[in-house]
Amino acid sequence: MKLLTRYMPLAVTLLACAFLLVPTLQSVLAGITANYFRGLSSGLTLKWVGEVWGLYADSILLSIWLALACLAVTLLIGVPAAYALARAPGRLSRVLEEFISLPLAIPGLALALALLQLYGAQQGFRAHWSFILVGHVLYTLPFMVRAVQAVLAAIDLKTLEEGAASLGAPPWRRFVDIVVPNALPGILAGSLTVVTLSIGEFNLTWMLHTPLLKTLPVGLADSYASMRLEIASAYTLVFFVMIVPLLMAMQWATARAQRILS
Amino acid sequence: MTARHFGTLCLLPLLIFSLAFLALPLVRLVLSSAAGEAGWGIYLQMLQKPRYLSALAQTLAVSAAVTVVALAVSTTAGLYLARNRFRGRAILLSILTLPLAFPGVVVGFMIILLGGRQGLVNQITPGHLVFAYSTFGLFLGYLYFSIPRVLLTVMAAAEKIDPALEEAARSLGAPPSRVLWDVLLPALRPAMVAAGAIAFATAMGAFGTAFTLATDIDVLPMVIYTEFTLSANFAMASALSIALGLVTWSVLLIARSLSGGAVASGG
């Protein structure tokens, strides 16, 4: 009994790790095995990765492009907004914050249906990549605003700004010279979160995409449904190679921003 | 330009964006739900048709089961990792948080690799066990993306527990099980409520995983998807999305008022 209570937590931890890790390793292996059904004895190959590039290069490039565009838009909208919200903390600011955070609480599918029904008839917009971009910005913007706002709320913004104002700096100069440099750890953490989430976004994108505009996760769904296991796995491997470093950088930047806060 | 004007100017892009792409689309969604033949009566229809009701019941059941199991697993693992330092701990922690960045479709594929026709379990068991496309497979998929989310929330709270509390309990003669039930779990309760709400809301709205695995299972997101794309029943799809959105949103809201912390689902 004592032995059980002592080793049970470790056993649960290890089992959970195995549950999460084993299929990940399987997909990595399947992606570089010549014939998954025959096993590793059939030899290792990069043939499948090459085929993925031939089949899905467009979707990979589109995802990178969308992630960068999404980053640019969330920076332009989110950083000034976080500043304004941090400077005027009140009920109105909280209501607005709550409102822009709705995309975190409502399933992406519902948001996508809402967007489709309002803008779906405008063919020029509907078939353009910026329609998918809108969905990505909707979903990632709250993360940028929160990350920047948390940092700004922790520093003595008022004193810094008053100092600059007394030296004659107009509001926009104070924003550029004081607010942005001080908010940098938050901006970095927010940016990495935005890029990571945008590259992996599926729920909204599946509804918003068109046959000519497939993102990486849309292509993944496509390959899971219609390609042999080795190609689906190789494509997943490509995705892992992109997303895992981003995830690690994001966790590092978030921990760093939090250290500065405390 | 005064500082006040500048503040408004800073907020303007956000206001325009969320008006055009969040507020107006949501209003349109509500209006679309009533634009069908039934009008606002569609919400009554939704509750009367067995297909929607059973989908709702099934979604609630799977999400509740996932929440309970994810809380049990992640609290056990989270407490263990927060209170022990050993070689390899950092690696275990990275493995457990790795799926945070996986989209739902990839999680679905992971379950196919475990329990699909060419899956691991089918290969090593003689009985040819294929479970990826069953309710159990869906449950495992939801569990896969819930474990990391719950773990992070619980661990953050576990690291803030004052070790003196535990020492006091132990010095008064409490056995480890009493320390767990009377000291640790009560201290973790707010975090567990928050994490449970995130897990539940994320599972309720999970589309990518269901899209990959639930070809034969009626969970709410899949029903909404088929109503919209195959049946072109826009009014019902809208009404069901609104119902689903209200459920996930209020679960998170209630959890936040109970736990007092910030809660956000991320999937």
Q: What is the domain-level CATH number for residue A103?
A: 1.10.3720.10
Q: Which residues from A are below 8 Å from B174, CB to CB?
A: none
Chains A, B: CB contacts within 8 A come to 239
What value does the mean pLDDT take over residues A95-105? 93
Concatenating the DSSP letter of every residue in chain B gives --HHHHHHHHHHHHHHHHIIIIIHHHHHHHHHHTSSTTGGGHHHHHHH-HHHHHHHHHHHHHHHHHHHHHHHHHHHHHHHHHH---TTHHHHHHHHHGGGG--HHHHHHHHHHHHSTTSHHHHHSTT----TTSHHHHHHHHHHHHHHHHHHHHHHHHTTS-HHHHHHHHHTT--HHHHIIIIIHHHHHHHHHHHHHHHHHHHHH--HHHHHH-SS---HHHHHHHHHHTS--HHHHHHHHHHHHHHHHHHHHHHHHHH-S------
Q: Which residues from B are below 8 Å from A5, CB to CB?
A: 176-177
**What's the token pair of residue B23?**
């507020």
* Residue from B190, B200, B201 nearest B157 by CA: B190
Domains in chain B: ranges and CATH: 51-259 (1.10.3720.10)
Q: Say if A49 falls within a structural domain.
A: no
Q: Say if A175 falls within a structural domain.
A: yes
pLDDT > 90? residue A253: yes
Contacts with A246 (C-beta within 8 Å, 6 or more apart), sequence order? A192, A195, A196, A199, B101
* Residue from B109, B251, B255, B131 nearest B194 by CA: B255
Q: Say if A38 falls within a structural domain.
A: no
Nearest CA in chain B to A141: B14
> Is the minimum CB–CB distance between B135 and chain A shorter than 8 Å?
no
- ∠A228-A230-A235 over CA atoms, to 5°? 100
Q: Which residues from B are below 8 Å from A104, CB to CB?
A: 264-266
Alpha-carbon gap, residue B220 to B243, rounded angstroms: 10
* Residue from B73, B149, B90 nearest A104 by CA: B149
Average pLDDT for chain A: 92
DSSP tag of A201: -
CA B154 centroid distance within chain: 15
The pLDDT, as a whole number, for residue B260 is: 60
**What's the token pair of residue B194?**
């928050």
| φ/ψ (deg, to 5) at A213 | -125, 85
The terminus-to-terminus CA distance of chain A in angstroms comes to: 42
Nearest CA in chain A to B104: A202
Residue B220 is which amino acid?
A: L
Q: Which residues pair with A33 in a beta bridge?
A: A44
Instruction: Please list the ranges in chain B whose pLDDT falls under 70.
Output: 1, 260-267
pLDDT (tens digit, 9 = 90+) per residue, A163-219?
888 898 888 888 888 899 999 999 999 999 999 999 999 999 999 999 999 999 999
Highest mean pLDDT among A2-16, A71-85, B252-266: A71-85
Kindly indicate the confidence band of residue A136, based on its pLDDT and cuts at 50, 70 and 90.
very high
The pLDDT, as a whole number, for residue B263 is: 46
Kindly indicate the confidence band of residue A2, based on its pLDDT and cuts at 50, 70 and 90.
low
The pLDDT, as a whole number, for residue A243 is: 94
Out of B100, B143, B228, whose CB is closest to A113?
B228
| φ/ψ (deg, to 5) at A210 | -120, 165
Q: Say if A145 falls within a structural domain.
A: yes
> Is the minimum CB–CB distance between B40 and chain A shorter than 8 Å?
no
* Residue from B166, B18, B244, B73 nearest A98 by CA: B18
Query: What is the number of structural domains in chain A?
Result: 1
Q: Which residues from A are below 8 Å from B92, CB to CB?
A: 13-14, 17
* Residue from B67, B24, B246 nearest B153 by CA: B67
- Of A99 and B265, the one with more pLDDT: A99
The pLDDT, as a whole number, for residue B266 is: 39
pLDDT (tens digit, 9 = 90+) per residue, A137-163?
999 999 999 999 999 988 888 888 888
Answer yes or no: do B245 and A105 touch at CB < 8 A.
yes
- Of A37 and B84, the one with more pLDDT: B84
Q: Say if A228 falls within a structural domain.
A: no
Instruction: Look up the domain containing A62 and give its range.
Output: 57-217+238-261
The pLDDT, as a whole number, for residue B264 is: 44
Contacts with A172 (C-beta within 8 Å, 6 or more apart), sequence order? B1, B6
Q: Say if A181 falls within a structural domain.
A: yes
Best to test chain A binding among B207, B225, B230, B242 (most A CBs inside 10 Å)? B207
Out of B10, B99, B267, whose CB is closest to A20?
B99
Shortest alpha-carbon distance between residue A72 and chain B (Å): 13
% of chain A surpassing 90 pLDDT: 71
Q: Which residues from A are below 8 Å from B6, CB to CB?
A: 171-172, 175
* Residue from B112, B11, B12 nearest A220 by CA: B112
